[in-house]
Amino acid sequence: MSTPVTVNPALAEPKKTPLIYKILVIMSVITLIGGTLTGIMTYVNVGVTEQFYADWFTSFISAVLVMAPIGFVMMTLMHKLVNKLLPNGSELKRD
């Protein structure tokens, strides 16, 4: 005979990732990619001068202030589109 097994609900459901962790991951990616690309572009355009770090920082802040809001809007639109196209799909598949 088989013995019924109970499953601990805490183990059955995956934990949701806290929002602050998601924000920290996005900010670290923005910093790494944005910092690298603006650093390379600043170096190619002006070379290494006394003002290099000031020029790079200005470019980096401009890129973050423009690209971060555009990225968040695009993520929201893509999330809505996927939810509309896959209404019966699991959350894992939609993500």
Give the start-to-end residue ranges of the domains of the chain. Answer: 17-94
Residue 46 pLDDT greater than 60, yes or no = yes
What is the rounded CA–CA span in Å between residue 94 and residue 10?
23
Structure tokens at 47: 């070379």
What is the pLDDT confidence band of residue 60, given thresholds at 50, 70 and 90? Answer: very high
Using alpha carbons, list the distances in angstroms from residue 4 to 7, 10, 13.
Answer: 10, 18, 20
Q: What is the mean pLDDT of the chain?
A: 82
What is the rounded CA–CA span in Å between residue 17 and residue 92?
13
* Residue carrying the six token digits 């790494």: 32
What is the pLDDT confidence band of residue 71, given thresholds at 50, 70 and 90? Answer: confident
Average pLDDT over residues 43-70: 90
Specify the pLDDT at position 1: 57
